[in-house]
Structure 1
Amino acid sequence: MSKLHIQQRISNVEKIFLKTNIPVLKIGDNVRIGVKIIEGNKERVQFYEGTIISKKNSSINTTITVRKTFQGIGIERIFLIHSPKLTSISILRSSKVRRSKLYYLRNLKGKASRLKQTFK
């Protein structure tokens, strides 16, 4: 088997698991992500709200890093967008940014870390 043929098979299998109801996510967007959490025999959805500071990879391996500040401490979490554990992704607010990675927000505190909002 040629390498091209193997890649074709892999992409066909990945297509099955791709989610279709995902909105267009951009860097600087404020998002609310519903994560499925299993505690014992109970299942619930916990929401995580923050700003997208980076986006990596493509296709089924797409990940986003979401940052929020909780009680003055910055918390970052990486989400695999096409994971079955994510129940919902909604965009709350979009911001105007000129960078592809917003890692500089890690060093800013308080009002300095706010981004300029864009309206559609």
Structure 2
Amino acid sequence: MFKLNIQQTIDKVENSFLKKNLPLLKIGDNIKVGVKIIEGNKERVQFYEGTIIAKKNSSINTTITVRKTLQGIGIERIFLIHSPKVDSITILRSSKVRRSKLYYLRNLRGKASRLKQTFK
């Protein structure tokens, strides 16, 4: 009984920090994430654009792995989507995928790494 009360308290605290205005993120979506960057005493938003290749759901600890290719080199970044550092998430386009993790994109280059786009 004591353990149940602690878990309920933890859930209440976590729910107060969950973001309510997030779009429905799916694997294969091409997104633009605005991340708050602090430089000295100034704060600005830097955008990171790429494809979601993985998603892990666990309430407040929900993460997405975003991959982009910059000058022929693949770069992956993991975002904690309920973090205060994440300012905005915008879906640019969606793709049709049949897997829950797109790790195979790491081995593909150029046109081979394209995903079939779905239209809304």
TM-score, L = length of structure 2: 0.98
2:34 maps to what in 1? 34
Letter in 1 for 2:66: V
Deviations 1:44-91 (CA, angstroms, capped at 9, x unpaired):
100000000000132100000000000000000000000001110000
For structure 2, which runs of at least 5 residues remain unmatched after alignment?
A: none
TM-score, L = length of structure 1: 0.98
Deviations 1:6-42 (CA, angstroms, capped at 9, x unpaired):
1100000001100011000000000000000000001
1:25 maps to what in 2? 25
- Note if 1:77 corresponds to 2:59: no
- Between the aligned partners of 2:110 and 2:45, the Cα distance in structure 1 is 29
- Between the aligned partners of 1:55 and 1:115, the Cα distance in structure 2 is 17
User: What displacement does 1:4 show?
Assistant: 1.4
The list of structure 1 runs, each at least 4 consecutive aligned residues, that deviate by more than 4 angstroms after superposition, is: none
For structure 1, which runs of at least 5 residues remain unmatched after alignment?
A: none
Q: Identity over aligned residues, as a percent? A: 84
Letter in 1 for 2:83: S
Aligned positions, number: 120
